[in-house]
Amino acid sequence: MGTWKNIVAGATVALGLLGGAAQADTIAEIKERGVLRIPGILNEVPYFNKDPRTNEWQGFVIDMAKDIATTLNVELEVVESSWQNAILDVQSGKVDMAFAVTATPARALSVSFSDPTYFNSFIIVSANEDVQGKSWSQLNDAQYTFAVDMGSAQDLITQQYLPKANILRFKTRDEAIVAATTGKADGLVNTMLNGLVMTKRAPDLGEVMVPTPVLSTPSVVAINYSADEVFKSFVSGWAEYNRRIGNNQTWIVNSLEPFGVTLEDMPEGFGFGG
């Protein structure tokens, strides 16, 4: 009996050692490859921007990814993609992770999420004084028309909080901006980050408004489900640490500076740290 217990105990230890070795695979693969791969989206400031003269990528997502790459002692490789394909890139193993992903239940069926890197609130950009100061429930009325880019997280918000309002859905954000600028819509539903840049680029759009209750969504890093727990824990630990000490907000604010956006432009009490 004692011999059998010793065998079982030995097998348990061996499995534990094997499990520990397996857990290091994802990071080991990245280090062996020498690069950390992420998807990059063209002309999506302040998240991403590719300089056509130098082909260098900029934006706060790039700064975040570079920090992770530096921690792993590897280079950063940006694979040109789109918001629609970023999750597929993670699933297929084309990239190691994708940043600036809104954590939704539907996406959780496809990829694993890290802890939040920052929080982004849903807002309305409008020049219509009648919209100002109103809650989501007050704006949920057929007298109001809002523009939104189809299939986005903000589109989901309009379906949940503005079902009675008239919603104009467009294939691109630029089309939605035009609708709001030309008066076809009373305002544009989007996120705080995009809204701050929009109002600087197109002042005729109006002001950023934060209807109550404040609807805040976590922005996370998407990771392939097959990645090991050590890697997932590392990415979540990185996200939590840098969000709590303010590094992530600093990277975001720095990326907004070229557009003339500062912390003073943000509504009182708002912060990306959650």
- Position 269 scores a pLDDT of 64
CATH topology identical between 2-118+219-265 and 121-216: yes
pLDDT in tens, 141-158: 999 999 999 988 899 899
CA dihedral 89, 80, 192, 217 (to 10 degrees): 10
Q: Which two tokens stand for residue 73?
A: 């002692």
The answer to whether 68 touches 260, Cβ cutoff 8 Å, is no
The 3-state secondary structure of 56-116, one letter per residue? CEECHHHHHHHHHHHHHCCEEEEEEECHHHHHHHHHHCCCCEEEEEECCHHHHCCCEECCC
Question: Is the confidence at residue 24, as pLDDT, over 70?
Answer: no
Mean pLDDT value across residues 101-109: 90
Mean pLDDT value across residues 103-110: 91
- Position 18 scores a pLDDT of 46
Q: How many residues does the chain have?
A: 274
pLDDT in tens, 69-92: 999 999 999 999 998 899 999 999
- Judge: domain 121-216, CATH 3.40.50.2000: no
Report d(CA 161, CA 136) in Å as an integer: 6
Domain boundaries, the chain: 2-118+219-265, 121-216
2-118+219-265 fold:
D-Maltodextrin-Binding Protein; domain 2 (3.40.190)
Question: Is the confidence at residue 167, as pLDDT, over 60?
Answer: yes
- Position 5 scores a pLDDT of 47
Higher pLDDT, 221 or 120: 221
What's the chain's average pLDDT?
A: 89
In sequence order, the β-bridge partners of residue 118 are 219
Question: Is the confidence at residue 27, as pLDDT, over 80?
Answer: yes
- Position 17 scores a pLDDT of 45
Percent of the chain with pLDDT over 70: 91
In sequence order, the β-bridge partners of residue 146 are 167, 187
Percent of the chain with pLDDT over 90: 75
Report d(CA 135, CA 122) in Å as an integer: 12
